[in-house]
Amino acid sequence: SRLMDLPSCELQRLGEIADLVTSVRLSRVRKKKLALALKNEGYIPKLLELFQACESAKNTEGLHLLFDIMRGILYLDKAILFEVMFSDECILGVVGCLEYDPCLAQPGWHREFLTKTAKLQEIIPIRDPELRQKIRQTSRALYIQAIITPNLSDFEEGFLSTLNSFISSSKEEILRGLQKDEEFLPEVFAQLTNEATAGEQRCELMKFFKEFCAFSFTLSEKRNEFLQTLAKLRFLPTLEILMGMDDLQVRSAATDILSYLVEFSPATVHEFVLQEARQNENDTQLITEVIKQIICSPDPGFGGDNQLMKILCALIDPEKLLAKASNLEIFEFLNIFYDRYIHVLTAPLLADTSEEWYEIGWQYIIYFFVELKTVIFLVDNFQRAEILASVLELLSFCVERHKYHMKHYIINKDLLRRTLVLMKSKHKFLALSALRFMRRIIGLKDELYNHYITLGNLFEPVVNAVLDNRNGCNLLKSASMELFEFIRVKDIQFLIAHIVENFSDALESVKYIHTFQGLKTKYEQEKDRQNEKLN
C-alpha cells in the first residue's frame, strides 16, 4: 500500500510533524507506514539538522517540539528506525533532542553523559572492532530506554517491546561474540584469581562477569553450552576463592553469581557439592564458605544474608539433591554435613548461650574454631542478635528437612535448651526466633523430641515468657499461646500431661485462660480413660 505522506522537514512545520507523530500512536498500520516513510526519506538526519539550527538560535519552542517528535519516533518502536537513531552519526543528535523536555525547568545533560561519563571501559581488551561497536550501540540503546520509558501502567501491555527485543538480541550477539573468543573468558578468570590484580580492577572484572552470567543464564537455548564452558574453566572452585576474599564488592558479586547458578542450574552446584563432600576435608569448601558469610555478615539486616540463606537451603535440601543423587548418596552427604559443616553454623549460637562471650563495652568477641582455624568476630549487640536469628531460621529448616540427622544433633548437643536461653533477649525478634525453633520441633509430634523436652523441663522458659507478658499484647505472647493451642488441638497427651502437672498453678493468672483450661480438660479426660482401662 502507499506510504504515508510526510510534511516537508522545515522549521515552520515542526508543529505539524509533531501532531502527525503523536496521531499514529493508536494505529499499528499507521505506525508502520510512518516508520517506513521516515526511513525511506532519510527524515531523521533532516530533523537533526533542524535541531542544530534551533539550538544555535536558542529557539526554545522549536526545541520542545523536536523533543516531542523524537520521543514520538522512538515510541513507534520500530527496529528499522533504531538502527538509524543509535548510529554514530545520529545518536548525539537524538539524545540532544531528548534534553529539551518541556516539563523540565532546565535541559538535561544526556550528551555530556554519553561523551564524557559513559565511556566504554575495556577491562579485558576486545579484539573484534565490530563487537566493540555493537557493545557501544547497545549501551546507547539502554541509556535511551532508561530516559524515555514512562510509567508503564499508563500504557498498553507490550509497550516498547521492539526496543526491548532489539536490546536483548544485541546482548545475545555480544555474548556470542565474547564466547567465540577462546582467550577472553580464560583471561577473565586468570585476572580474577591473580594476587597481583589490583582491588579496583578485580571489582570491575566481577561486575562485568556478574552481568555476563546474569544474561547468559536467562538464554535457555545457550545455557548448557555456557555451563560447559564454565566447567572447563573450573568456575566453582574459582567462585569459592572469590567468596572468601576481603573485598566486600567482590564477595557480593560472587554471591550473586552463585545465586544465579542455584536458580538456573541447581544440578551443577549440587553435583559439585556432592563431589566436595566425598573428598577429604579441604580449606575451601563451598558450603563452609556460604555459612561463614552468613555468620560473619557485616550487616545482616541489609539483605545479603537472606540471599546466602536461600543458597544454603537450596544446597542442603534433600528434595533438590534428588535430581543429581540417589537416596543413599544424599544420606551419605547429610552424614558429612552434620559431621563437618553444622558446627560452623551453630558456633555463634553455642558460644552466645554459654560462657564464651566476653563483653568489651558495646562490642563482643566470639571465639570458636572452624576447621582448625580460630575465627574472631567483632559485632555489636543488635548485629549479633540478627546473626543468631538467621542461624535459628536455618536450623528450623534443618529440623523439617533433615529429620533423622537434626534430631540426633539437637539431643546430643542439648541445642534446644541452649536456644531457649535467647527468650530472655531484649531483642523480641530473637526471642521469637527461639520460640519458632521450638514450635517447629513440636510440630513434628515426634516421641523422642517430646521425651527430650519434658525430661529437660524445656517448657519453663516459654511459660516464664507468658507470665512476664501476661498483661501485655505482643507477638511473643501470641506465639507462645499458639504453641500451647497447637498442643491442645493436636491432643499431644505426653506434653499436655507435662504442662498441666508442672505449670498449671502458675498459668492460672494468665488472661487467656481458655487455652490452659482446655489443656486441663484434655488432661483430665485422658486420666479418666486410663482409670477406666485399669478398672
Q: Report the pLDDT averaged over residues 495-522.
A: 86
Query: Distance (Å, rounded) from C-alpha 79 to C-alpha 85?
Result: 10
pLDDT in the model for residue 395:
97
Summarize pLDDT for 192-215 with one digit per residue, the tens: 888 888 888 899 899 889 988 888
Which residue intervals of 76-128 are DSSP H helices? 79-85, 91-97, 110-112
Summarize pLDDT for 85-139 with one digit per residue, the tens: 988 899 999 999 999 999 888 888 888 888 876 666 677 888 888 888 888 888 8
As given in the structure block, the three cell numbers for residue 389 are 536469628
One-letter amino acid at 480 equals S
Summarize pLDDT for 383-405 with one digit per residue, the tens: 888 899 999 999 999 999 999 99
Query: Distance (Å, rounded) from C-alpha 295 to C-alpha 90?
Result: 53
Summarize pLDDT for 444-476 with one digit per residue, the tens: 999 999 999 999 999 999 999 888 887 766 888
Query: Distance (Å, rounded) from C-alpha 18 to C-alpha 6?
Result: 11
Write down how long the chain is.
Answer: 535
- Within 10 A of 517 (CB to CB), how many other CB atoms are there? 13
Quick check: 438 pLDDT over 50? Answer: yes
3-state helix vs strand vs coil in the chain, percent to 5:
70, 5, 25
Percent above pLDDT 70 for the chain: 88
Which residue intervals of 279-414 are DSSP H helices? 286-295, 304-315, 318-321, 327-336, 342-352, 381-401, 403-413
- Within 10 A of 220 (CB to CB), how many other CB atoms are there? 8
pLDDT in the model for residue 358:
34
User: Residue 421: which residues within 8 A CB-CB, separation 6 or more?
Assistant: 353, 434, 461
Residue with cell 544420606: 331
Rounded to 10 deg, the angle between the 428-443 and 475-489 helix axes is: 10
Query: Distance (Å, rounded) from C-alpha 494 to C-alpha 120?
Result: 70
> What are the residue ranges spanned by the domains of the chain?
11-180, 182-325
Question: Which band of pLDDT confidence, cut at 50, 70 and 90, is reported for residue 364?
Answer: very low
- Which carries the bigger pLDDT value, residue 163 or residue 374? 163
Q: Report the pLDDT averaged over residues 177-205.
A: 86
Quick check: 282 pLDDT over 50? Answer: yes
CB burial class (10 A; 0-12, 13-18, 19+) of residue 473? exposed
Q: Report the pLDDT averaged over residues 320-332.
A: 85
| Contact call for residues 437 and 399 (beta carbons, < 8 A) | yes
Q: Report the pLDDT averaged over residues 293-299.
A: 76
pLDDT in the model for residue 18:
93
User: CB-hemisphere CA count at 13 Å for 290?
Assistant: 28
- Which carries the bigger pLDDT value, residue 175 or residue 69? 69
* 31-61 b/e (C-beta count within 10 Å ≥ 16 → b): bbbbbebbbeeebbeebbebbeebbeeebee
Average of per-residue pLDDT values in the chain: 84
Query: Distance (Å, rounded) from C-alpha 269 to C-alpha 255?
Result: 13
User: Residue 6: which residues within 8 A CB-CB, separation 6 or more?
Assistant: 17, 20, 37, 38, 41, 43
Quick check: 28 pLDDT over 90? Answer: no
Summarize pLDDT for 127-154 with one digit per residue, the tens: 888 888 888 888 888 888 888 775 544 4
